[in-house]
Structures are given as C-alpha cells and as structure tokens.
Copies of this chain bind each other. A is one copy, B any other.
Amino acid sequence: MVSADFGGPIYPTFGRLVRVQTALWRAADAQLRHRHDIALADVTALQVVSETGGMRVQDLAATLHITVGGASKVIDRLVASDLVQRTPHPTDRRSSVVKATAAGRKLLQMTSAAVEDVLTERLEGVLGTEGVARLDNLLLTLEGAIEYSSEGTLP
C-alpha cells in the first residue's frame, strides 16, 4: 500500500514537531547550563554512553543521528571534562570504547533530575500521563521505521 494523501498537507504537522522539539530542547538546555554549566547535547551523549555501558564512536553517532566526526568532537568535550574516557577496544585497535567515568555517572544523576523536572512540567504537565503515553507510542513507531529507512535516500 502506497501512501495516499487523504489527511491534507503534512508540512504543518512537521512544522509543529520541529517547533515543539526546539522549544523543549531550549528550555532543558537553558536549565542545564544554568544549574550545571553543561549543554544538553553533551548530557544526551553522556546519557547514551552511560546506559549502554560502553560503545564505539560510530555507535554513538548512529544512536544520536549525528555524523561520526560530530560524535568524535562531543566525546572530546566529555573527555576534557572527565565525564567519559576512551578505553582501547579489546579486539580492534582502530576503535576505542567510550565509557562513562564515575564523575560522569554522578553528574548524570543530577542533570537527569533537572531534565526530568523540565520535561515533566512541560510535557506531562500539558499532555498528562495518558497523552505522553500516546505520544511515546507514536514516536516509537516512527523511530522503528526511521532506523532502516535512513539509508539509501540519495543516489
């Protein structure tokens, strides 16, 4: 079944998605910079690294949908702040395995609470837990579909 266009233009919905995400990001980012002097982008990377317990640079890039070079630089910043460390890959000397340090995990606990506060207010406070659950279901569906369709777009 090929997608038909019964629902009217979809650009406005996408515009809303972008604006909502931007506004939420900015709110959380401002809160983190203010309270913990760190950017949300860095905390997000730290979060991913921490919860996987160790990953390669390109795995971080794939998870965040950023480039490998960008991921390398994010890690540079986190290493400089002693929040993660590069450890040698056990079988492949081209790779490093990036792991959260104790300081990184500690900072993550505090920053996660700050982010949770902002998001709970602005997402759950507006949509309610039921609305958040509906949103999450839709996003899960999209996320699953996006993973494989992100390849092979351009010739």
Contacts and interface: CB of A to CB of B under 8 A. Distances in A.
Interface residues of A, number: 65
Interface in A92-121: 112, 115-116, 119-121
Given A21-B18, A22-B65, A44-B18, A11 B154 contact: no
A39 to B, nearest CB: 13
B134 A13 contact: no
A153 interface: yes
A26 interface: yes
Given A11-B116, A16-B136, A149 B124 contact: no
3 closest Cβ pairs, A-B complex:
A7-B129, A3-B125, A16-B139
